[in-house]
């Protein structure tokens, strides 16, 4: 089963995703997608809080050397296990760091490259054997970013989240600590 948990910042997405993953009654592995800058004290604290909430469950960091990419991690996960992917926005941000020079020159080429990088993820989600709970940020609820790179990030995360939602058997929106089952509230477009 694929489950998408989406919503704004600090809405309770991660807390909800942990609960959903554990309720699937299979061993849970957390897939961390944030690149860690050791000089960023606030981010290090945020990551430490997330890890303490997760207890002793295994963690895979997609940015560590010799770690397969996110699509390969998901594709290789065995049946009767659950992967909790936290988060799509962090994964895209990490890719944008790799594409920083291109992003500064050509927003459209950057979007095309991000789409190509997302294709294997979307493909593996169509045939995955494990349960996958993905967290995605709703990035387009505010102002249009003033930079091309900000717009590329917002647009790509929005499109990717929508495409993952179309593949998911369950889609929840978390706002102000409340989870709404979107499949029971509306029809995919």
Of 91, 109, 101, residue with least CA distance to 152: 109
Q: Flag whether the pTM goes above 0.75.
A: yes
| Domain of residue 67, residue span | 6-132+165-175
| Average pLDDT rounded to a whole number, residues 65-94 | 94
The answer to whether position 158 is within a domain reads no
> Strands 28-32 and 131-137: what pairing?
unpaired
| pLDDT band for position 119 (cuts 50, 70, 90) | very high
CATH code: domain of residue 67: 3.40.50.300
Virtual CA dihedral for 93, 131, 160, 43, nearest 10 degrees? -20
Read off the pLDDT of residues 133-162 as tens digits, 9 standing for 90 and up: 999 999 888 888 898 889 999 999 999 999
The answer to whether position 137 is within a domain reads no
Read off the pLDDT of residues 34-79 as tens digits, 9 standing for 90 and up: 887 889 899 888 777 877 777 778 888 888 888 889 999 999 999 9
The answer to whether position 149 is within a domain reads no
DSSP string, 94-159: HHHHHTHHHHHH-HHHHHHHHHHHHHHHHHHHTT-SSEEEEEEE---SSPPPSSHHHHHHHHHHHH
The answer to whether position 148 is within a domain reads no
């Amino acid at each position: 089963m694929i489950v998408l948990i989406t919503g704004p910042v600090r809405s309770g997405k991660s807390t909800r995703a942990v609960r959903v993953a554990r309720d699937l009654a299979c061993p849970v592995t957390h897939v961390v997608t944030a690149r860690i800058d050791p000089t960023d004290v606030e981010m290090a604290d945020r990551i430490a809080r997330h890890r303490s909430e997760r207890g002793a469950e295994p963690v895979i960091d997609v940015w560590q050397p010799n770690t397969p990419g996110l699509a390969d991690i998901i594709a290789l996960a065995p049946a009767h296990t659950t992967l909790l992917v936290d988060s799509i926005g962090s994964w895209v941000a990490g890719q944008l760091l790799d594409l920083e020079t291109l992003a500064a020159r050509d927003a459209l080429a950057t979007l095309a490259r991000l789409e190509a990088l997302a294709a294997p993820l979307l493909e593996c989600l169509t045939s995955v054997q494990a349960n996958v709970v993905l967290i995605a940020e709703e990035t387009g609820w505010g102002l249009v970013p003033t930079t091309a790179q900000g717009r590329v990030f917002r647009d790509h995360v929005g499109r990717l989240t929508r495409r993952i939602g179309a593949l998911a058997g369950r889609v929840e929106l978390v706002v102000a600590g409340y989870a709404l089952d979107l499949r029971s509230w509306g029809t995919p477009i």
